[in-house]
Chain A
């Protein structure tokens, strides 16, 4: 059984091609079901996000499977092969597994460590699994990748720290106020960046959001977008006394919020912390405001610096995360190899059992005088002997370190016990079914 991966990602394909190969906007489940109707790709998962479309297949016939996948991509999206093939990357076996582990860990994302991708990988697997398009290999592979994603997130700082200005502001607010439910926010200036920040704050469950802007219309637009309330300048200044978070982003050439403004409000607000987020260039808030005792003043450069630091901290964690991926890959590869010996183990077991039954049958006449309990005992004892004889060889075979040794050993076992010969001549009575590869969908 081989793993095959074909796909396009932000690293190999421009956005317009990625859009044309996207599955997520259409029914992903139907897509994977359509792919799985081909015999060579019966075990498949389709992973599709805005940055990647990847198809994972487990197949006995990798060449055929690869052709089937490209054919499917071409048919499903109505694209000529030569349009997308130059941008498609392909991996097989360990390289494919490594790729999925890196994707799940967030190592292959545009912003390393971004959290959504793990959920998207889980979703892709679930869609395929619901439609019975997955088998033992892909099930194991994907579950393993979820584990890798979780390990990287808990053991490294790859996903830590905000990497956008508005998220950095929200993260700071949370560090000051804890949960933001019920916190009061004043937004001065209704531009793009203050809208983004207000939306993030709203998503954190803040209470009232008051918006003031030079043009009342844009204040109204933002107010309805974030379920806030548009007020005039005076209203905003009054609200300063009870606000927890103030976001400013106006186009003013001079500071609009002076120390006098904040002090006037501070008289009433006492020592409750006030978080001022100044996103404007040039600055809207007089830097002297930051000297007030309970005021935390951050301007856009401060936030930009935090973002830069967080990004470089994430980059510093990449090595650590890659080490986890490699470690898990070794474990996964050894699991997969142990599967390579399964047919031999099964055949060996059947061979032994056939001999056992043959001997019992031969003794049928002599055993006839025994009570049913004694007969059952004989059956059980002989079975146990076989179990014990096979225990060590089975474990040893599964633990073999590399594929070459494994082939040599299985070959030796096959020859020593004439396992292949049994298949062809069927000289052993009771050739029970089993060694033949079963339906890949049914483990």
Chain B
């Protein structure tokens, strides 16, 4: 079922690329329309899954990835509509397509542990997914900032120079995305801690819950990424680390998050295994 959004995301990705190269307004509108259709069909898929398991489908890893892709698509659409700037699509869409391939290739089975009936659990997961989506956008903005910065600095005004928004705008959007992501990351972590300690008291026999501590790589790395983004925000305000430095920080932060989201999640974590 996740295949239809994947196909639409891929089609939108192709059209965004064509728009990036040719810069024809009509192609740009077609790209946005396709992405909108993809997001709608994705909303439908997630809605169906929600009705099926009677909660938002994020307790299974593949479905969590799918929900993350959905939020990223919506956040990007919001960004595009508020800034009227389509050039970022060509960077964001490959990420959507790559990640959406995961639920298509390994759908997995939704975990219906009664443990997850707590609303705190849903706030925890949804906040983190939304934070990750914001950080993904921040990383893409950072990447494009660096590409364009290099072109202007080296006086080789070329491909990106004619297509991307100004450095100032990229930097400002990056800053906004990091702040939003940081707020949701913080909420997600705090709610997670509260929920885990409550649940641990109520479910003394649950091995997962007993494992939850800083010794779990997943939790530890989440806190590392929190530290990276906190530093980025602090450095921007106190040390004047804007532009290129904060762009690199966002890329670093998101690399850590991707590491946490995929390999760590599948292979290393000791407490966040809910299969």
Residues of A whose CB lies within 8 Å of any CB of B are: 154-155, 157, 160-161, 172, 174-178, 270-273, 290, 293-294, 296, 298, 302, 305-306, 309
Q: How many residues belonging to B are interface residues under a CB distance threshold of 8 Å?
A: 23
Q: Are A293 and B152 in contact (CB under 8 A)?
A: no
Contact call A177/B168, Cβ cutoff below 8 A: yes
Contact, CB under 8 Å: B166 / A178: yes
CB pair B152 A172 closer than 8 Å: yes
- Asked if residues A306 and B243 are in contact (CB atoms below 8 Å), the reply is no
- Given contacts A175-B152, A175-B161, A306-B157, whether A271 and B167 have CB atoms under 8 Å apart is no
Cross-chain contact B165 with A293 (CB below 8 angstroms) = no
Does A272 lie within 8 Å of B166, measured CB to CB? no
Enumerate the 9 nearest inter-chain pairs by beta-carbon distance, A residue then B residue, closest first: A270-B240, A178-B168, A178-B166, A178-B169, A271-B240, A177-B168, A302-B155, A176-B167, A175-B166
Structural contact, A273 and B239, CB atoms closer than 8 A: no
Specify which of A154, A160, A294, A302 lies most central, judged by the most chain B CB atoms within 10 Å of its CB.
A294
Residues of B within 8 A of A298 (CB): 155
Taking a contact as CB atoms under 8 Å apart, the answer to whether B243 and A294 are in contact is yes
Q: Which residues of B contact A (CB under 8 A)?
A: 23-25, 148, 152-153, 155, 157, 161-162, 165-169, 172, 239-245
Closest-by-CB residue of A relative to B241 is A271
Nearest Cβ in chain B — how far from A33, in angstroms?
Answer: 39
Query: Quick one: which of B166, B241, B244 has the most chain A CB within 10 A?
Result: B166
Asked whether A176 lies within 8 Å of B152 as measured between CB atoms, the reply is yes
From the candidates B23, B162, B168, B243, name the one contacting A271 in the complex (CB within 8 A).
B243
Q: Which of chain A's residues have a CB closer than 8 A to the CB of B168?
A: 176-178, 273
**Cα separation A343 to B127 with both chains bound (whole Å):** 72
Residues of chain A contacted by B167 (CB below 8 angstroms): 175-178, 273
Contact (Cβ within 8 A) B239 A176:
no
Report the bound CA distance from A273 to B242 in whole Å: 9
Please report the C-alpha to C-alpha distance between residue A157 and residue B159 in the assembled complex, in whole angstroms: 13
Specify which chain A residues have a CB less than 8 angstroms from the CB of B239 in the assembled complex.
270
| Docked-complex contact B155 and A271, CB < 8 angstroms | no
Q: A62 to nearest B CB, angstroms?
A: 39
Chain B residue nearest to A177 (CB atoms) is B168
Query: Chain B residues near A306 (CB, 8 Å)?
Result: 157
In the complex, the answer to whether B240 meets A273 with C-beta atoms within 8 Å is: no
Nearest residue, chain B, Cβ from A290: B153
7 new A-B contacts, CB < 8 A, other than A161-B162, A172-B157, A309-B157, are A154-B25, A175-B148, A175-B167, A177-B168, A178-B166, A273-B167, A306-B157
